[in-house]
Amino acid sequence: MDLFLDKGFEATTFDDIAAAAGISRRSLFRYFGTKEDIVLFHMADEGPRAAAALAARPDDEPVWTALLAILKQIENETGDPARLLKISEMMYGTPSLRARSLEKHLQWQSDLLPEVKRRLATEADLPAIAIIASAVACLDAAGEQWTRARGAIPLADLLEEAFTAVREAR
């Protein structure tokens, strides 16, 4: 990640990454097919983590409230805010990274679907998928706004504002 932040996403090569990791370029390609996958590697476990966190929430808590709580929890665990801002600026400023990030967030639908359906007491996929997709869209919108504000507004506040806007839309 340091290479990407120092040199920029486009200027960082697979050779640079392999050298910094102390492995061959061929070994690097065994684990990662694209530079986007390297940058967003940390997102691979967020969906299952979110599903586990959702399952641990109280059963009587409304699903929308529970989703907000777990997303705030995950975002709160991201580490150094200054570093996160640099990563976020790179992601929102690089179309291929942004697209890959959205694709990874879409994976959350299958990760969260069973628990959201259970909470809704339904066998129907559509209501649960719509709720999850809305929550992920709120997360992305809040993240983009947080980046534009250069971290001046707490991400948790922006996430709550986005969730409220969707919940209260008429």
Q: What is the domain-level CATH number for residue 19? A: 1.10.10.60
C-alpha span between 66 and 57 (Å, rounded):
7
Kindly report the pTM of this predicted structure: 0.88
Sign of the dihedral through C-alpha 141, 147, 153, 157 = positive
Domain that holds residue 16: 1-39
Per-residue tens of pLDDT for the chain, all 170 residues: 889 999 999 999 999 999 999 999 999 988 888 999 888 887 778 889 999 999 999 999 999 999 999 999 887 776 788 888 999 999 999 999 999 988 888 888 899 999 999 999 999 999 999 999 999 999 999 999 999 999 999 999 999 999 999 999 87
Both 131 and 154 in one domain: the answer is yes
Both 91 and 105 in one domain: the answer is yes
Contact of 5 with 86, CB cutoff 8 Å? yes
| Helix locations, 23-94, DSSP H | 25-31, 35-39, 46-56, 63-76, 81-93
